[in-house]
Structure formats: structure tokens, C-alpha cells
């Protein structure tokens, strides 16, 4: 199965490819096909709505089934911010520092947070397969770790390590995106099995 991944984020593309590969999905990006996908405007009020908008646009432009993820960090002490605005929370390169600054006076017991990932696949016939996953943890006092991307260095999971301190396999096992894609895998397999005659990808 060849699906196009609706992202221009190389880190997210690598992570999605790594998790989808065992499902038999040949995950390609627009550059692999000599295309340049339009950046879909993320006007949705939820992660699920934004994932659909991105996948639908990529499917329309490529003619292939398209998978998109919309994800973000929701911090309890900030009333769920940055949430769907995680990628636009501050100037590029300043997002982690901005969030840490706003959390400086927040005590340990109130530093809870969670990541959410909404995954959506849109097929050329208009059908969709969706899933959502979460990972609960807390905001660290400072950046730690060399791996991951985005807010990974400041998000601690059970055991005290940040996402950026985990190996790829360790992160995939506990992350919001890993959880969403595992659900997605089952739903996608079920969909494909019941649409063998009408779906070719």
C-alpha cells in the first residue's frame, strides 16, 4: 500500500514512516513523488479536525490515500495551552523556552501535561479512518536529552525521563503518536479487509 504522508516536518515524517512500516504501508512524502503539497490551513478547533483538513488536502492533490497527524502538548496549569497551537505557540526556536518561562512558578504537583495525537487517513473515494492517542506526563524544569523534536526535551513520562531521553523504540511504545497509530493500524486493516474490491492502493 502506498500512502502519502501529509507533513513537511522531517522528524514527524521519519517517525510516521518508522511506525507505519511494519503495517505494510509504503509511506511517501510529496518530494518522493515530485510534488509540492500545499500547506493546509489548520483552522480546526480540535486535533482531529486539523488532521482531517491536512489529510483531505493531500489526498486531493496527490490522488493517493493520505495520512496526516495533528498533535500537540496540553499543559494543565496553562488551561490546556498550547494545545492545537503547539506549533505556533511562540517564535520558532523559542517555544520550549517560552513554555518553561511560563511554568517557572508552578509547583511540582501542578506540572501535569499530556500529548495528544490525532491520525486521519482520507481515501480518494472520501472514506476516512481515524484514531487518537494520548500520553500523560509532566513538564520538566529544564530541557533534557538529545533525541526527539519539538517539546520532547521538556516532557517527562513515567520513570522520570523526557521523550528526548528515550530511544526511538522506547518513545514509540509510550508516545501519543505510537498509541494513535496502533489504534489506527487495527482500524485501517479492518477497513481494507472489507473494501478489497473497491480500494486499490
Burial of 198 (0-12, 13-18, 19+ CB in 10 A): exposed
Rounded to a whole number, what is the distance in angstroms from the first to the last CA of the chain? 5
pLDDT digits (tens, 9 = 90+) for 58-80: 999 999 999 999 999 999 999 99
| CA distances to 45, 54, 166 from 121, in Å | 19, 10, 28
Q: Which residue in the block uniquely carries the three cell numbers 502506498? A: 2
Residues with Cβ within 8 Å of 170's Cβ and at least 6 positions away in sequence, in order, are none
Which one is catalytic: 70, 76, 127, 168? 70
Check if 70 is active-site.
yes
pLDDT digits (tens, 9 = 90+) for 78-124: 999 999 999 899 888 899 999 999 999 999 999 999 999 999 999 99
Q: What is the pTM of this model?
A: 0.89
Cell numbers describing residue 150: 519539538
Amino acid at each position: 500500500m502506498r500512502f502519502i504522508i501529509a507533513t513537511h516536518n522531517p522528524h514527524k515524517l521519519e517517525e510516521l514512516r518508522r511506525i507505519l512500516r511494519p503495517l505494510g504501508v509504503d509511506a511517501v512524502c510529496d518530494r518522493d513523488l515530485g510534488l509540492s503539497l500545499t500547506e493546509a490551513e489548520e483552522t480546526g478547533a480540535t486535533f482531529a479536525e486539523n488532521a482531517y483538513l491536512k489529510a483531505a488536502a493531500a489526498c486531493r492533490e496527490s490522488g493517493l490515500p493520505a495520512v496526516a497527524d495533528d498533535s500537540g502538548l496540553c499543559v494543565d496549569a496553562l488551561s490546556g495551552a498550547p494545545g492545537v497551537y503547539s506549533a505556533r505557540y511562540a517564535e520558532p526556536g523559542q517555544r520550549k523556552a517560552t513554555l518553561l518561562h511560563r511554568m517557572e512558578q508552578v509547583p511540582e504537583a501542578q506540572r501535569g501535561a499530556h500529548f495528544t495525537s490525532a491520525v486521519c487517513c482520507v481515501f480518494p473515494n472520501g472514506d476516512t479512518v481515524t484514531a487518537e492517542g494520548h500520553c500523560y506526563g509532566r513538564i520538566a524544569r529544564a530541557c533534557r536529552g538529545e533525541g526527539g523534536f519539538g517539546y520532547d526535551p521538556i516532557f517527562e513520562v513515567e520513570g522520570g525521563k523526557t521523550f528526548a531521553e528515550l530511544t526511538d523504540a522506547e518513545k514509540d511504545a509510550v508516545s501519543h503518536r505510537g498509541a494513535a497509530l496502533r489504534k489506527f493500524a487495527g482500524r485501517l486493516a479492518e477497513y481494507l479487509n472489507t473494501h478489497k474490491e473497491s480500494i486499490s492502493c
